């Protein structure tokens, strides 16, 4: 299907051609075929398609892949040449709202999180999210046997297994299977279809895992009342941007605080449109939060009595921070090498440069 704007442009073009006396009468099927012919690399005789629009667009796949290749080489030079050329920094981890930046990847706290979760400390924003969340739990004193935690939109994350191995009881939640299937989460292995599927055997035996971890299907837009006041901590990793709108995502964060016991903490990561503070993606399958969205949320939470740490919107200033990854990604058609590991701290989402942003919120001991 082509959108109405493109259809109108095609009709305006065709209106100047005597062969099409009434372009408004052309069906969408015909317009689709015209567009296909304009973009096809060859004509019907297998000769190069010399249409101007094709000449402008045909080299874009190679240009995109070259960009990804140079990002891969840059990451390899930093992290693979000579083993591990980046000496781990000693900057202590502090609870704060912050964005993904390359300097974090050389810190001991980040390496500790990767070691604990048994993941390579590669320059990938998803790795940063997991290490950030684990370090928040450690700094807040929540990694203790007997604690209770709840994860929202867990999918197949390693956190439930890791936390269970620490003697912590976990309620892992995800979207109901039929809705997850419709959203494409199942086909991309980002959904927990059953509790056994989220077990990671490298952390603990399955029997022990099942004694501490349970799975429940929960709509993040409608958290059940029976979960209120039951947990020492909650978390979500890049899930709340898929709730349908910026407003829904922010409401989820506020609502998630109700599941906490006094003194409990919430840790959430999501997409950060760091390039501008006005235009963004909203009312869509993946929405992009801006600095002003986070700032407004912080003001509301502070007014409600929640404890908030320092907020930093710094996205880094090194060359690897300036690199913005672009499609295709490993799960998409056109990704040439499944073993290819690229640089992925920042990425382009529907035309907007984005990265991950982490938030940690603490409920006061009096329950506020």
Which residues in 34-111 belong to E strands, given as ranges? 96-99
Q: Tell me, what's the pLDDT at 15?
A: 56
Q: Tell me, what's the pLDDT at 21?
A: 46
Residue ranges of the domains in the chain?
A: 4-58, 62-153+220-362
Q: What's the pTM value of the predicted model, to 2 decimals?
A: 0.81
Q: Where are the alpha helices (DSSP H) in 213-347?
A: 246-256, 291-303, 319-322
Cis amide linkage into residue 130, ω under 30° from 0: no
Query: Which class for 368: exposed (0-12), middle (13-18), buried (19 or more C-beta within 10 A)?
Result: exposed
Give average pLDDT by consecutive 10-residue segment, the chain, 368 residues: 56 52 59 72 73 69 77 72 56 95 93 95 93 98 98 96 98 81 50 81 97 96 98 98 97 98 98 94 95 98 97 93 82 61 84 95 83
**Tokens for 64?**
């995109």
* 98 within 8 A of 312, measured Cβ to Cβ: yes
> Would you put residue 54 in left (φ > 0), alpha (ψ -120 to 50) or beta?
alpha
Name the residue among 175, 176, 171 with its Cα closest to residue 160. 171
Start-to-end CA span in the chain (Å): 51
> Which residues 6+ apart lie within 8 Å of 85 measured at CB?
78, 79
- Can you state the angle between helices 28-39 and 4-15, rounded to 10 degrees? 80
What are 345-349's contacts with CB under 8 Å, separation 24+?
Answer: 345/100, 345/101, 345/102, 345/123, 345/124, 345/125, 345/128, 345/316, 345/320, 345/321, 346/100, 346/125, 346/315, 346/321, 346/322, 347/125, 348/324, 349/271, 349/273, 349/281, 349/286, 349/288
* 112 within 8 A of 143, measured Cβ to Cβ: no
Q: Tell me, what's the pLDDT at 319?
A: 82
**Tokens for 349?**
């989402």
CATH architecture of 62-153+220-362: 3-Layer(aba) Sandwich (3.40)
> Which residues 6+ apart lie within 8 Å of 40 measured at CB?
49, 54
**Tokens for 360?**
């940690």
Number of H helices, E strands in the chain: 12, 10
Query: Cβ of 3: how many Cβ atoms within 10 Å?
Result: 7
């Amino acid at each position: 299907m082509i959108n109405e704007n493109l259809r109108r442009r095609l009709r305006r073009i065709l209106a100047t051609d005597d062969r099409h006396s009434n372009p408004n009468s052309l069906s969408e099927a015909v317009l689709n075929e015209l567009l296909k012919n304009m973009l096809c690399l060859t004509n019907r005789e297998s000769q190069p398609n010399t249409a101007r629009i094709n000449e402008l667009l045909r080299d874009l796949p190679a240009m995109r892949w070259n960009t990804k290749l140079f990002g891969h080489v840059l990451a390899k030079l930093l992290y693979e040449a000579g083993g591990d050329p980046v000496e781990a920094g000693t900057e202590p981890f502090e609870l704060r709202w912050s964005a993904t930046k390359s300097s974090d990847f050389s810190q001991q706290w980040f390496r500790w999180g990767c070691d604990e979760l048994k993941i390579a400390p590669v320059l990938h924003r998803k790795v940063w999210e997991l290490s950030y969340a684990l370090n928040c739990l450690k700094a807040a004193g929540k990694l203790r046997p007997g604690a209770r935690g709840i994860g929202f939109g867990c999918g197949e994350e390693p956190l439930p297994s890791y936390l269970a191995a620490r003697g912590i009881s976990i309620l892992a939640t995800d979207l109901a299977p039929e809705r997850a299937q419709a959203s494409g989460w199942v086909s991309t292995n980002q959904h927990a279809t059953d509790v056994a599927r989220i077990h990671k055997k490298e952390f603990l035996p399955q029997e022990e895992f099942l004694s501490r971890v349970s799975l429940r299907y929960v709509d993040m837009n409608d958290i059940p009342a029976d979960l209120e006041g039951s947990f020492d901590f909650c978390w979500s990793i890049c899930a709340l941007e898929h709730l349908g709108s910026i407003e829904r995502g922010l409401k989820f964060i506020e609502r998630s605080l109700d599941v906490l016991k006094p003194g409990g903490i919430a840790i959430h990561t999501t997409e950060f449109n760091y390039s501008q503070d006005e235009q963004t993606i909203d009312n869509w399958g993946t929405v992009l939060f801006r600095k002003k969205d986070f700032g407004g949320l912080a003001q509301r939470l502070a007014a409600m009595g929640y404890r908030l740490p320092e907020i930093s919107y710094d996205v880094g200033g090194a060359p690897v921070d300036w690199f913005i990854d672009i499609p295709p990604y490993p799960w998409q058609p056109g990704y040439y090498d499944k073993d290819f590991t690229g640089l992925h701290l920042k990425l382009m989402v529907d035309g907007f440069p984005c990265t991950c942003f982490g938030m940690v919120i603490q409920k006061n001991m009096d329950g506020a």
